[in-house]
C-alpha cells in the first residue's frame, strides 16, 4: 500500500505538484471524454500523476460503478495517495448515475421554515449519505457544502445551491451537513469564501463585484464560514469575486489580504484553502495560465484547483520560489496541510480498505432512496389547485406535454424513461421538448401541461431560458391552452410566473429536477 513520504524527500517541483488538483473525466476510456478542453486523455493524465506527481484529481461524468474503477486506476498511477474530489453538493448521484441524488440545498431551507430540527436532521443525513457513497466509489474529498447566503434572487450561479437566504439558516444547515459527513473519513469544503450569494454575475464567465462594506460582510457573508470552521470543516474554497472594500485590485482567490488576512488571521482557519477552478473566466481571462497560480499561492492558497495548464503552473510557482518571490517555507506549509488532509482520508494508505468499509449494503441503499423521497415530499410546496384527471376531462383538443430546459444536450435528469415524459404519456399527452436553441414558432397547439426546468447552473444562467419560457407561457395564456404549470428548480422563477397565472390553472413547484422529484410532483398534480 502506498504511504505518504517524508516531505523532505520531495523536490521543490514535487512539493508544488502536490498543490495541484486537475480535472479528469470519470469515464474509463478516452472516446467517452465529454469536455476535452478540461479533461485530458489517459496518457496525459497518467503523465501528470506518475511523472509530475500531481496531488489530486476532480472527477465528473460516468456511473458510480465506473467511478469505483476509475478512482482505483488513478490511485494506482500516482506515486503518492491522491485526493480525489467531486462537486457533489446534492449527493453522489448528482454527478455519477446510480447513486443517491438529493434535492438542492435550498429545498432544506424550505423545510427549515416549517421545522428547523427536521431540516437539520435531513442536512446531517445528506452529509452522511454523501460521504458514505463517495467513499464507496473512491472519492475522498466532497466539495460541499455551499455556505453562500443567496440573498440575491438574480444570482445565476449559486441560486438553489445555497442552504438559504439568511446567515442563520445557512449556518445551521451547513453545519449539520458537515457533522453528518464527519462520520466518514472524507474531506468537506465550505465554499465560496467570502460569499458568492449576493451577486448577479456568474464567475465562470466574468468577474463579479461585491460592493459591500466590511460591516455588512461581517453581518451577512461571514457568519456561515465562521460556523463551518467551528464545526471542523476541512477546507475552504475561495470565490472569484472582487471585493473593493477589502482589496480593490485582486479578486479574493488571488488576494493575500482576503485569503491570508481575513480567512487565516481574522477567522483563524488553519486547514486547507483551495481555489475555485482557475479555468473559470473570472480568473483565466484576466490572469492566464501562469500568473494566476503564482498569485494564488502568494495569497495563501494551498490547493490550485484546475489550473489552465498544470505543468506550466508548477513551473511558474517553482520559478517564483527560485527567484525569491515566494519563500520555500510557504510551499512547505501548504504541503504539510495537504499531508494532514491525506492522512485523514487514507490513514496508512489503505485506500481500498476504506472504500470497502464504505460500501453500502442493500438496506442502506433502500434507506438512501427513502430519504431522497422524503426530502422531496417535505420540501414540495402545496399545489395551488389540483388538476382534474385528464381521463375525466371532456375535450376535443389534443393534450400536449411541453417541456422547457436550458440545454437539451446537458440534461442528465431527462430521458425517455423519466417521469416528466412517461407519466403524461400514460395519460395521453404528446411530448415536445424545447431549449434555448429550439425554434418555438412552429410548435403544435393543444391543451398544454407546461413543465419548466429552470435553476441556476454554472456556465448557464437562467435569464435566457426564462425569457423563452415567458414567451411560451404568454402565448399559452393568450390562446387559453395553458392547462397546468410545473416549475422544477428555482423558487425565484416560480415567483416570476405566479402573478400572471390565470385563476383555476394549477401550479406545482419542486426544488429538485431529478426523476424522483418529477414523479412526486406530477403525482401530486394529477392527484395520484
3-state secondary structure 355-385: HHHHCCCHHHHHHHHHHHHHHHHHHCCCCCC
Location of C-alpha cell 473566466: 281
d(CA 410, CA 429): 24
The upper half-sphere exposure of residue 281, i.e. CA atoms within 13 Å in the direction of its Cβ, equals 10
Radius of gyration of the chain (CA): 24
Which among 128, 225, 221 is positioned nearest to 178, based on CA atoms? 128
Distances (CA, A) of 362 to 68, 130, 368: 18, 16, 10
Known catalytic residues are 204, 276
Residue 258 DSSP label: I
Longest dimension (CA), the chain: 81
Query: Hey, CA dihedral for 154, 97, 190, 57, is it positive or negative?
Result: negative
How far is it, in rounded angstroms, from Cα 226 to Cα 218? 10
- What is the C-alpha to C-alpha distance for residues 456 and 157, in angstroms, rounded to an integer? 5
Q: Give kind and range of the element (H or E) at residue 489.
A: strand 482-489
- Cis (ω within 30 of 0) for the bond into 248? no
Gap between the Cα atoms of 74 and 76, Å rounded = 5
Amino acid at each position: 500500500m502506498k504511504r505518504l513520504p517524508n516531505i523532505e524527500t520531495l523536490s521543490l517541483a514535487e512539493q508544488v505538484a502536490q498543490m495541484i488538483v486537475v480535472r479528469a473525466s470519470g469515464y474509463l476510456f478516452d472516446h467517452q471524454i465529454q469536455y476535452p478542453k478540461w479533461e485530458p486523455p489517459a496518457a496525459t493524465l497518467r503523465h501528470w500523476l506518475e511523472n509530475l506527481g500531481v496531488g489530486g484529481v476532480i472527477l465528473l461524468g460516468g456511473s458510480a460503478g465506473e467511478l469505483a474503477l476509475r478512482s482505483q486506476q488513478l490511485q494506482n498511477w500516482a506515486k503518492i495517495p491522491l485526493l480525489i474530489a467531486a462537486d457533489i453538493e446534492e449527493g453522489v448521484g448528482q454527478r455519477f448515475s446510480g447513486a443517491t441524488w438529493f434535492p438542492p440545498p435550498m429545498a432544506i431551507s424550505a423545510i427549515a421554515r416549517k421545522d428547523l430540527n427536521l431540516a437539520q436532521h435531513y442536512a446531517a443525513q445528506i452529509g452522511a449519505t454523501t460521504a458514505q457513497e463517495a467513499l464507496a466509489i473512491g472519492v475522498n474529498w466532497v466539495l460541499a457544502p455551499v455556505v453562500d447566503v443567496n440573498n440575491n434572487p438574480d444570482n445565476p450561479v449559486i441560486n438553489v445551491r445555497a442552504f438559504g437566504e439568511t446567515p442563520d439558516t445557512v449556518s445551521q444547515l451547513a453545519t449539520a451537513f458537515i457533522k453528518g459527513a464527519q462520520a466518514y473519513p472524507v474531506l468537506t469544503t465550505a465554499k465560496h469564501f467570502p460569499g458568492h450569494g449576493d451577486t448577479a454575475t456568474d464567475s465562470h464567465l466574468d468577474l463579479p463585484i461585491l460592493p459591500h462594506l466590511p460591516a455588512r460582510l461581517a453581518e451577512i457573508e461571514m457568519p456561515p464560514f465562521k460556523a463551518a470552521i467551528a464545526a471542523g470543516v476541512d477546507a475552504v474554497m475561495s470565490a472569484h469575486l472582487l471585493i473593493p472594500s477589502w482589496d480593490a485590485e485582486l479578486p479574493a482567490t488571488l488576494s493575500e489580504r482576503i485569503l491570508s488576512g481575513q480567512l487565516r488571521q481574522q477567522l483563524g482557519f488553519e486547514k486547507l484553502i483551495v481555489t475555485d477552478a482557475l479555468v473559470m473566466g473570472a480568473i483565466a481571462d484576466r490572469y492566464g495560465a501562469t500568473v494566476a497560480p503564482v498569485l494564488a499561492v502568494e495569497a495563501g492558497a494551498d490547493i490550485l484547483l484546475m489550473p489552465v495548464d498544470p505543468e506550466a503552473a508548477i513551473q511558474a510557482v517553482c520559478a517564483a520560489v527560485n527567484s525569491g518571490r515566494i519563500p520555500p517555507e510557504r510551499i512547505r506549509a501548504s504541503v504539510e496541510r495537504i499531508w494532514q488532509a491525506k492522512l485523514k482520508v487514507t490513514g496508512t494508505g489503505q485506500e481500498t480498505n476504506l472504500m470497502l468499509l464504505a460500501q453500502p449494503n442493500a438496506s442502506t441503499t433502500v434507506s438512501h432512496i427513502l430519504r431522497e423521497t422524503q426530502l422531496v415530499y417535505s420540501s414540495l410546496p402545496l399545489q395551488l389547485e389540483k388538476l382534474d384527471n385528464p381521463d375525466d376531462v371532456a375535450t376535443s383538443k389534443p393534450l400536449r406535454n411541453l417541456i422547457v430546459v436550458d440545454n437539451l444536450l446537458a440534461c442528465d435528469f431527462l430521458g425517455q424513461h423519466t417521469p416528466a415524459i412517461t407519466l403524461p404519456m400514460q395519460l395521453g399527452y404528446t411530448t415536445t421538448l424545447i431549449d434555448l436553441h429550439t425554434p418555438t414558432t412552429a410548435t403544435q397547439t393543444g391543451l398544454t401541461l407546461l413543465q419548466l426546468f429552470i435553476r441556476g447552473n454554472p456556465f448557464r444562467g437562467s435569464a435566457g431560458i426564462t425569457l423563452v419560457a415567458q414567451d411560451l407561457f404568454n402565448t399559452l395564456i393568450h390562446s387559453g391552452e395553458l392547462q397546468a404549470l410545473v416549475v422544477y428548480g428555482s423558487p425565484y422563477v416560480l415567483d416570476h410566473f405566479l402573478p400572471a397565472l390565470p385563476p383555476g390553472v394549477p401550479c406545482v413547484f419542486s426544488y429538485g429536477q431529478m426523476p424522483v422529484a418529477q414523479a412526486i410532483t406530477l403525482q401530486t398534480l394529477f392527484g395520484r
